[in-house]
Amino acid sequence: MSKIRIITLIMLIVATNTLVGQNVTIFGHVTDSTNGEFLIGAHIVCLPSNVGIVTNNYGNFSIQIPSGSSTLMVSYIGYTTFIKPIISDKNIECNISLIPEPKNIDEVVILANNNSMKISTPETGLHSLKQKDFDNIPSVGGIPDVLKSLQLLPGVQTTNEGTTGLSIRGGALDQNLILVDEAPIYNPAHILGIFSAINTKMVKEVVVYKGDFPEKYGGRASSVIDVRLRDGNNQEFLAEADVGILGAGLICEGPIVKGKSSFIVAGRVSYAGFVANCAKKVSTVIPIYSLNDFHSGNNVYFYDINGKINYKINSKNTLYLSVYNGFDYFYARNVNDLSTLDWGNTTMSLRWNRRSGSRIFSNTSLIYSGYNFNNSSGDFTSISNWSSTINNFNLKYDVDYYPNSNNHVSLGAGVEYMAINPGELHWDNQSSQEFDFSLPIERTIQPFVYIGNEQKISNWMILNYGIRFSTFGTLGNKYVYSYENEVAIDSVWLNKNEFEKNYVFIEPRLTVAFNMRNNSSIKASYTRVNQGIHRINNTSVSLPTDVWVPSGKNIEPIVSDMFSVGYYLKPKNNNTIISLELYYKEQQNITDYIDNADLQMNKHIATQLRQGNAEALGFDIMLKRENERLNGWISYGYSYIEHQINEINEGEVFYPRYHKPHNLSVVINFKYNPRVSFNAVFKYNSGGFITLPEGTFFYRSKPFSYYTERNGYELPAYHRLDIGMKYISKKNKARKWKAFWDFGIYNVYNRKNAFSIYTETSWLSLNVTKMYIFGATPYITYTIKF
Amino acid sequence: MKNKLKLMISFLGINVLMFSCTETFELNLERTEPKVVIQGLVTNLPGPYFVRLTKTTNELKVKYEPGLYAEAYDDHTEIIENAVVIISDNQGNSDTLIPSPYHNYIYYHGDSIMGYYCTQNLIGVVGREYYLDVFADGKYYHAESIMIDAPVIDSIYYSYKEGDIGKPTKITPQIYLDKINNNVLYGEIFFTREEITHYNLMWWYSMLVDLNDYPTDLPIPFYAYAENGKNYLEPYDLSEDFQWAIVTMDEKAYNFNKTCYQQFWDDGGAYKPAPATPIGNISGDAIGVFQVSGVSIY
């Protein structure tokens, strides 16, 4: 505790010792003039003092400048720069509405301010994508996808094509904190990972932290994916509907009280199963070879709905309520006509955003996130229902404090409570051989407090330092076992409020940026983060039936130390930014599974897990161009990941399945004229590693396989090219609506990339089979806006 | 066990995505040194007992021709001849096995030895510990296991369920056991219309059971079969003239057999756990298991 006190004291001294008596404070918020949405990350500069700052997550800012005459400049990508002379000797509230720039493609839009901020702010491994970035990337079925778009960023991998699981800078799939309006999402996938659960129509911004976390984030060992949703248009009513091959969507937004309160509602529904059934029927009539692999009799669909309202109580207080519900249903008749699987997420965020004075902005959040699945299966005698739930409640208080123009203090506290029901099994038509069975509910409590400061030391150096202090306690109302050689040798009953284990996490964060004269910068960062919960899964693709278990007496939390250093360059008079980042990640207590682990409904799950160390080393290179007519990026990432866990792979080092050293992405968006634009994606990465047979042996006169070392076989490389075109219908003055078309082909040259390679062992034969999901897949989407 | 079995079955549904396509994958296996495969079984039923010695192969194609029933039992795998195989017990009895065609598949293959070695005078007795020593190709392999008494089947009741249209009536046995010896954790159920002997304890008619989870009653036996390259489970179409046996085994033998079973379902696909080599109880980097079992017959 003494360390924390000292650090806090230093921060406060540093934050206050530069207060200057003759300064005045300009504060307020920045919004879009057409819809009233707050703009996150807008750049504010006062001249001639050249003091700069960016708006926070609620569009607020506070900047101290010398009293007297100044010029305030506010800029944001895609908006006309706002310039206002200010003469003042006292604090001023200045709420700014930026006007979107006219869509003139011949104009070379200079986005220098935003790029400058990118290279000068003290963050490494950070990417920010807006809704239009996702819309401009060709996608399966024409459904823009947040998580699959992120796979085009350097340092972001996935295990299997077309799935939403992410390995970021060598981290495991369960080490990403995915937040939607601050609510964590436990399974961000629809249709077994084919689509992500985040509706891009609702997205205002997605910020990806690949390793350098601000202090306010914690709980996951590798990355944060912070999805911030739109607030809704508070100026006019708008609606948009789209229909595509695999799904349809509708979004409505408008003012409740004009300029003061607004709502936004968006829903999507997918009829993928229906489409697959139709494709099968078509294949029986028309001999199209590629349709022969479709199966009929499926019932696979999903829906999700987002709703959000905000109410501006007065100039200081605003309330936000954000709700999400998603549901999936999966039934594949051709395999098991008695088996169904459904799952879904529900989240709710209630936030009170408050400005206190001219320098303090606070946010109080009450957050709920829930997840559940139900797997019903049976045979000729009875039906079993296997279900699991997660309920997470989070109450937190975050403060942004701007004591002066050289310091931005972030501090906050909160508590998170989680209840996980790992599994219940109920039987219909129960017989004497079948009995209901449930695992004890796991409950955890995680209080936390953090403080950090972004301090401008000089014009060429910015320091960001902070610390997050938290505890992770697992509560009782269950038996806790002791094990020896995988056998329970003792058990102790813990009452409801007794701790099975209470871990203490102290997580320092440090980043430094040196701004060079040639419009470039060098940054370095160190982040420590701990993860107390683990997703139980020994497949390469996340499943809806994956269960989370908390650390406790027998399972330790993951400890992750992340280092990175980067060089960033923005050539003058150019809309391009070039970045090179090197990183090293070291993790302790990562979990993996013994061979042939028994993970389902196992109350002694700890006996099936082993913990060890992971190392990831690599670099990310990115060249990004931001221009109205031609934009996109080229990125290359190299990574080397190793795991070492006693009792797995005989204790030898092995690669995880997401070890894919080379990762190249090219994303291009070209606006041919105001109504037609083209986009393309090329993706190449190493194939990854899996466990495959090394040979065959016969036992009881049947063939069986013996295998390579864990993940000892490297798959062929993965690559594909996607192309798309957007077309805006000619404006008809007699109509009140406007139509848009999206056409494209995913995987143009029909590369049969391996989704999975597996061995089929039957009583009489043994075959190795490659499964691929997406060959050349065309899509078309029709959208109307009114 | 049945609970978990059903869960396992349900996951088959996830293996086949609606949109997926498949094709045969040419896997270029590294040429590695073949390993010795040892399959041994000693029971308290009358002997002789046998041990089979073969070698692994770097090929994934099965040599026998599907469709020829008898051929299915002749795997054409490389056998180990001229090995020294000794089974002994903790009472000082020792038996050096001799190559012999007297094994499970004698019915199909007559006097073909197929890598089998048989005991000459050893008698399996419950409660004794048995040791296997093999000297083959200049290497030494060793295994040991205790023969655990098998619980006695108290009674079996058959319940009948009318089949769906076009499908036969299903007969479901419920097997009740006498109180189980605390040492018994794992076993296998065998069932056949023929008289159960040491020689027809064959895989077709068996089911692994975790007796620790089911102290009094046992699950319905299923049988697995392959059709069009896929595996299926079906409940056995039983009748009341079946003979039943409970066969015990130690944990290592159980895990070896279970892992082999799992290979039928855990194919290593994206939605399945990473597969692994079955690990038995034989030292010296050999694959296989030396199973010592008590057997009770009903």
Q: How many CB atoms lie within 10 A of CB B33?
A: 8
Residue closest to A683 by CA, chosen among A98, A85, A140: A140
Distance from CA of A508 to the nearest CA of B (A): 36
Instruction: Among A5-14, A45-54, A447-456, B88-97, name the one with the lowest average pLDDT.
Output: A5-14
- Average pLDDT of span B273-289: 87
* ipTM reported for the complex, 2 dp: 0.84
Q: What integer pLDDT is reported at residue A65 of this predicted model? A: 84
Higher per-residue pLDDT: A466 or B267: A466
Contact call for A696 and B56, based on CB within 8 A: yes
Considering only alpha carbons, which residue of chain A is nearest residue B218? A433
Query: Number of helices (H) and strands (E), helices first, in chain A?
Result: 5, 50
Whether residue B274 and residue A752 make contact (CB cut-off 8 A), yes or no, is no
Helical segments of A252-389, H only: 272-285
The better pLDDT of the pair A22, A34 is held by A34
Which chain B residue lies closest to A600 (C-alpha atoms)?
A: B4
Q: How far is B292 from chain A (nearest CA, A)?
A: 15
If pLDDT is split at 50, 70 and 90, which confidence band does A222 have? very high
Q: What pLDDT sits at residue A115?
A: 43
The reply to whether A750 touches chain B by the CB within 8 Å rule is no
- A315-334: per-residue pLDDT in tens? 899 999 999 999 998 876 65
By mean pLDDT, which of A96-110, A294-308, A668-682, B148-162 is the weakest?
A96-110
**Mean local confidence (pLDDT), A61-87:** 86
Contacts of A657 in chain B (CB under 8 A): 274
Give the mean pLDDT of A123-130.
89
Of B3, B59, B170, the CB nearest to A384: B3
Q: Please answer yes or no on whether B7 and A339 come within 8 Å at the CB atom.
A: no
Q: Residue A434 and residue B2: Cβ atoms within 8 Å?
A: yes
Query: Band of the pLDDT at A570, cuts 50, 70, 90?
Result: confident
Question: Residue A229 — pLDDT band, cuts 50, 70, 90?
Answer: very high
Residues of A in contact with B161 (CB under 8 A): 380-381
Q: Note the pLDDT of residue A656.
A: 92
Cβ distance of A775 and B21 shorter than 8 Å: yes
pLDDT score for A768 = 79
Q: How far away is chain A from the Cα of B27, in angstroms, using its nearest Cα?
A: 7
**For position A416, what pLDDT does the model report?**
97
CB contact under 8 A, A767 and B60: yes
Q: How many alpha carbons fall within 13 Å on the CB side of residue A480?
A: 21
Considering only A163-177, A488-502, A615-629, B266-280, which range has the smallest mean pLDDT? Answer: B266-280
Q: Is the pLDDT of residue B222 over 60?
A: no
Residue A22's pLDDT is: 72
Query: Quick one: average pLDDT of A407-433?
Result: 84
Binned at pLDDT 50, 70 and 90, residue A288 comes out as low
The Cα B175–Cα B191 span in angstroms is 12
The residue written with tokens 């908390």 in the block is A550
pLDDT of residue B158: 66
Report yes or no: A151 at the B interface, CB cutoff 8 Å: no
Which of A700, A715, A767 to probe by mutation at the B interface, max B CB count within 10 Å?
Answer: A700
Judged by average pLDDT, the poorest of A675-684, A702-711, B90-99, B159-168 is B159-168
In this prediction, residues B194-199 reach a mean pLDDT of 70
Tokens 């996830």 -> residue = B14
In chain B, residues with a C-beta closer than 8 Å to the C-beta of A378 are 6
**Residue B181 binned pLDDT confidence (cut-offs 50, 70, 90):** low
Confidence of residue A711 (pLDDT cuts 50, 70, 90): confident
| Token duo for residue B188 | 């296998």
Per-residue pLDDT for B223 more than 70? no
Higher pLDDT, A474 or B219: A474
According to the model, what pLDDT value does residue A13 have? 44
Q: Is there a contact between A771 and B275 if contact means CB atoms under 8 Å apart?
A: no
Q: Which residues of B fall within a CB distance of 8 Å from A538?
A: 273-274
| CB-CB neighbors (< 8 A) of A159 in chain B | 270
Higher pLDDT residue, A742 or B114?
Answer: A742
Compare all CA atoms of chain A with the CA of B268 and give the residue at the minimum distance: A758
Residue given tokens 């054409």 in the structure block? B76
Question: Which of A436, A543, A592, A761 would best serve as a mutation to test chain B binding (most B beta carbons within 10 A)?
Answer: A761
Would you state the structure tokens that stand for residue B116, as one six-digit string? 């089998």
Of the candidates A670, A548, A681, the one whose C-alpha atom is nearest the C-alpha of residue A609 is A548
Choice among A659-668, A729-738, A763-772 with the minimum mean pLDDT = A763-772
A335 and B19 in contact by Cβ < 8 A? no
Count CB neighbours of A580 within 10 A: 16
Q: Do B22 and A384 touch (CB under 8 A)?
A: no
Residues from chain A contacting residue B263 (CB–CB below 8 Å): 704-705, 759, 761
The CA-based dihedral angle spanning residues A641, A646, A650, A652, taken in that order and rounded to the nearest 10 degrees: 30
pLDDT(A695) > 80:
yes
Predicted pLDDT at B15: 37
State the Cα–Cα distance between residues A334 and B130, nearest whole angstrom: 48
Q: For a pLDDT cut of 90, what percent of chain A falls above it?
A: 46
Name the least confident of A66-75, A334-343, B73-82, B168-177: B168-177
Across chain B, how many H-helices and E-strands are there?
4, 19
**Which is more confidently placed, A334 or A497?**
A497
CB contact under 8 A, A159 and B270: yes
Instruction: Provide the mean pLDDT of chain B.
Output: 73
Structure tokens belonging to residue A206: 């997605």
Contact B226 A762 (CB under 8 A): yes
Q: Please give the pLDDT value at position B228.
A: 54
* Predicted pLDDT of residue A58: 84
pLDDT of residue A396: 97
Residue B274 C-alpha, separation from nearest chain A C-alpha, in angstroms: 6
Main-chain dihedrals φ then ψ at residue A12, nearest 5 degrees: -65, -40
Q: Is A334 on the interface with B (CB under 8 A)?
A: yes
Q: Which of A230, A246, A242 is nearest to A279 (CA)?
A: A246
User: pLDDT tens digit string along A131-189?
Assistant: 888 888 888 878 889 999 999 999 999 888 777 889 999 999 999 999 999 999 999 98
Instruction: Using an 8 Å CB-CB cutoff, list chain A residues near B24.
Output: 767-770
Closest-CA distance, A102 to chain B, in angstroms, reads 43
Q: What percent of chain A has pLDDT over 70?
A: 89
pLDDT at A119: 61
Q: How many angstroms away from the CA of B125 is the closest CA of chain A? A: 23
Q: Which of B5, B7, B10, B204 to mutate against chain A (most A CBs within 10 Å)?
A: B10
Confidence of residue B105 (pLDDT cuts 50, 70, 90): low
B9·A336 Cβ contact <8 A: yes
CA separation for the pair A210, A223 (Å, rounded): 5
What pLDDT, on the 0 to 100 scale, is given for residue B8?
Answer: 37
> Among residues B73, B78, B74, B32, which one has the least CA distance to residue B55?
B78
With CB atoms and an 8 Å threshold, state whether B75 touches A761: no
When pLDDT is averaged across residues A354-363 and rounded to a whole number, the result is: 92
pLDDT confidence band for B213 (50 / 70 / 90): low
Residue holding tokens 């057997």? B295
**pLDDT above 80 (res B26):** no
Of B216, B66, B158, B269, whose CA–CA distance to A702 is shortest?
A: B66
The mean pLDDT value for A490-497 works out to 90
Residue A585 contacts B, CB cutoff 8 Å? no
pLDDT at A18: 43
Nearest CB to B7 within list A335, A601, A756: A601
Which pLDDT tens digit goes with each residue over B31-83? 678 899 999 999 998 888 889 999 998 777 665 555 444 445 566 788 898 89
Q: Does A299 touch chain B (CB under 8 A)?
A: no
Note whether B58 contacts A711, CB cutoff 8 Å.
no
The alpha carbon of residue A719 is apart from the nearest alpha carbon of chain B, in Å, by: 17
pLDDT of amino acid B232: 52
pLDDT digits (tens, 9 = 90+) for A237-281: 999 999 988 889 999 999 999 888 999 999 999 887 777 777 767
Q: Which of A341, A596, A709 to mutate to test the interface with B (most CBs of B within 10 A)?
A: A596
A517 C-beta neighbours (distance < 10 Å), count: 6
Q: Which residue has the higher pLDDT, A298 or A12?
A: A298
User: Distance, in angstroms, between A434 CA and closest chain B CA?
Assistant: 7
The answer to whether residues A239 and A785 touch, using CB atoms and an 8 Å cutoff, is yes
Between A600 and A447, name the one with better pLDDT. A447
B19 contacts in chain A (CB < 8 Å): 194, 272, 276, 293-294, 773-774
Section A722-744 average pLDDT: 86
Is the pLDDT reported for residue A198 higher than 60? yes
Q: Which residue has the higher pLDDT, A672 or B20?
A: A672
